[in-house]
């Protein structure tokens, strides 16, 4: 679906007298020095994209990649165009899952074609934001690339914040006095972090290259802005690593807790078993059938036996309390 297509002249959107899907018409008017076209597509069908590709002479290999939406983040240079793939991330509260989409961008001297898959990183609002910042938009296609990267990386940060909260929850759960079963939660979080890592890590390289101003078609003046984005990507990547290693430590602590609880349970159980055993032993003793057992004939022998059982139990109970077994 073609979401929007527009011609920008010196950072200002120019009204074009044609339907937004008549891309050839739009493109033909981008003749001036500061003119460029931005076409935004969302999950386009093959033929839709083919048509766009024809208008802007996009490289067939890149077009193929843009349709499939199972790429690694990457920046590729074709003769007179760039092809940039970003993974978008968003957090689904219902099941604490991180989901991934993809944005592909074709960048030429006077056009940008952005192809979005999945529901992350809504671009139309990014376009509206950008249209209000004429100074920025005046930098041409670079500004669009920057705006989209910035938007995507901002979403990474909010995903990371959500994961951070999850990790905090796991942490409290692991160290709560309750018996908890955190291993599945930890596993799922590690899997989500691994997914986030696959989206974020490969992006460092392209952002660094933008920040160094060494990519043709991306304006050198935009370098400080991309440096900012690159910085955020690195911070996100570092956070992923430290959350991951924190989870490993939390898992170990969880294991230690299970072992300790097992030990405590065992001691508690054994203490009670001992208390029962001593009673059984005393009762067994007076259940013997000897002819000559003086206690049996005592007036209060039975009560003595009962007292013995209770006393021994109580004595043991107190001992166990003192030594921490109960």
Q: Which is nearer to its own copies, 23 or 86 (CB)?
A: 86
Q: Does the footprint of its own copies cover residue 301 (CB under 8 A)?
A: yes
Kindly write down the DSSP assignment for every residue of 308-324, as one continuous string: HHHHHHHHHHHHHHHHT
Whether 5 and 56 have beta carbons less than 8 Å apart is answered as no
Whole-number minimum distance, CB 15 to its own copies, in Å?
Answer: 31
Residues 222-241 that bind its own copies (CB under 8 A): 224-225, 227-228, 231, 234-235, 238
Instruction: Please give, one letter per residue, the 3-state secondary structure of 27-86.
Output: HHCCCCCCEEEEEEEECCCHHHHHHHHHHHCCCHHHHHHHHHCCCCCEEEEECCEEEEEE
Choosing from 161, 165, 220, 300, the residue that interacts with its own copies (CB under 8 A) is: 300
**Could you tell me which stretch among 9-17, 109-117, 138-146, 276-284 binds its own copies (CB under 8 A)?**
276-284
Q: CA-CA distance, 136 to 219, in Å (whole number)?
A: 12
Whole-number minimum distance, CB 114 to its own copies, in Å?
Answer: 20
Q: Does the footprint of its own copies cover residue 18 (CB under 8 A)?
A: no
Residues 128-167 that bind its own copies (CB under 8 A): none
Choosing from 10, 80, 252, 321, the residue that interacts with its own copies (CB under 8 A) is: 252
Whole-number minimum distance, CB 1 to its own copies, in Å?
Answer: 26
Q: Does the footprint of its own copies cover residue 281 (CB under 8 A)?
A: yes
Residues 82-111 that bind its own copies (CB under 8 A): none
Helical pair 223-285 and 141-175, crossing angle rounded to 10 deg: 10
Q: Does the footprint of its own copies cover residue 208 (CB under 8 A)?
A: no
Report in angstroms the alpha-carbon separations of 41 from 44, 186, 202. 6, 37, 24
Q: Does the footprint of its own copies cover residue 270 (CB under 8 A)?
A: yes
The structure tokens 């049996």 sit at: 296
Q: CA-CA distance, 144 to 131, in Å (whole number)?
A: 10
The structure tokens 């294991």 sit at: 255
Instruction: Please give, one letter per residue, the 3-state secondary structure of 199-242.
Output: HHHHHHHHHHHHHCCCCCCCCHHHHHHHHHHHHHHHHHHHHHHH
**What are the structure tokens assigned to 196, written together?**
């986030």
Q: CA-based Rg of the chain, rounded to a whole angstrom?
A: 35
Q: Which is nearer to its own copies, 125 or 176 (CB)?
A: 176
Residues 172-201 that bind its own copies (CB under 8 A): 174-175, 179, 181, 183-184, 186-187, 190-191, 194, 197-198
Q: Does the footprint of its own copies cover residue 319 (CB under 8 A)?
A: no
The DSSP code for 218 is: S
Q: Which is nearer to its own copies, 17 or 324 (CB)?
A: 324
Whole-number minimum distance, CB 250 to its own copies, in Å?
Answer: 7
Q: Does the footprint of its own copies cover residue 124 (CB under 8 A)?
A: no
Sheet of strand 111-117, all strands in order from the earlier edge strand to the far edge: 12-14, 2-9, 35-42, 111-117, 97-107, 81-92, 74-78
Q: Give, for 161, the enclosing helix (H) or strand (E).
A: helix 141-175
Q: Does the footprint of its own copies cover residue 260 (CB under 8 A)?
A: yes
**Could you tell me which stretch among 16-24, 28-36, 50-58, 254-262 binds its own copies (CB under 8 A)?**
254-262
Q: Which is nearer to its own copies, 92 or 260 (CB)?
A: 260
Q: Does the footprint of its own copies cover residue 318 (CB under 8 A)?
A: no
Whether 268 and 192 have beta carbons less than 8 Å apart is answered as no
Residues 45-84 that bind its own copies (CB under 8 A): 59, 61, 65, 71-72, 74, 76, 78
Whole-number minimum distance, CB 182 to its own copies, in Å?
Answer: 8
**Could you tell me which stretch among 108-116, 117-125, 133-141, 292-300 binds its own copies (CB under 8 A)?**
292-300
């Amino acid at each position: 679906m073609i979401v929007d297509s527009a011609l920008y002249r010196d950072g200002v959107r120019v009204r074009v007298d044609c339907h937004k899907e008549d891309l050839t018409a739009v493109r033909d008017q981008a003749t001036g020095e500061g003119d460029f076209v931005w076409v935004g597509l969302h999950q386009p069908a093959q033929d839709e994209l083919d048509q766009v590709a024809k208008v802007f002479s996009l490289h067939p290999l890149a077009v193929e990649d843009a349709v499939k939406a199972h790429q690694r983040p990457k920046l590729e240079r074709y003769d007179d165009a760039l092809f940039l793939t970003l993974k978008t991330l968003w957090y689904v509260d219902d099941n604490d899952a991180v989901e991934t989409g993809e944005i592909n961008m074709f960048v030429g001297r006077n056009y940008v074609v952005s192809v979005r898959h999945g529901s992350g990183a809504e671009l139309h609002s990014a376009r509206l934001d950008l249209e209000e910042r004429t100074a920025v938009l005046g930098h041409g296609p670079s500004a669009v690339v920057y705006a989209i990267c910035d938007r995507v990386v901002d979403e990474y940060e909010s995903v990371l914040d959500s994961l951070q909260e999850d990790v905090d929850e796991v942490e409290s759960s692991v160290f709560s006095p309750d018996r908890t079963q955190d291993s599945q939660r930890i596993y799922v979080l590690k899997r989500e972090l691994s997914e986030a890592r696959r989206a974020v890590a490969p992006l460092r390289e392209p952002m660094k290259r933008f920040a160094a101003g060494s990519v043709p078609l991306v304006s050198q003046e935009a370098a400080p802005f991309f440096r900012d984005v690159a910085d955020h990507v690195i911070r996100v990547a570092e956070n992923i690593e430290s959350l991951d290693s924190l989870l490993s430590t939390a898992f170990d602590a969880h294991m230690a807790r299970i072992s300790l609880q097992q030990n405590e349970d065992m001691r508690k159980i054994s203490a009670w078993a001992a208390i029962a055993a001593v009673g059984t032993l005393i009762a067994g003793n007076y259940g013997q059938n000897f002819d000559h057992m003086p206690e049996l004939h005592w007036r209060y022998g039975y009560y003595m036996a009962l007292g013995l059982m209770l006393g021994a139990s109580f004595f043991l109970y107190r001992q166990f309390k003192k030594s921490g077994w109960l």
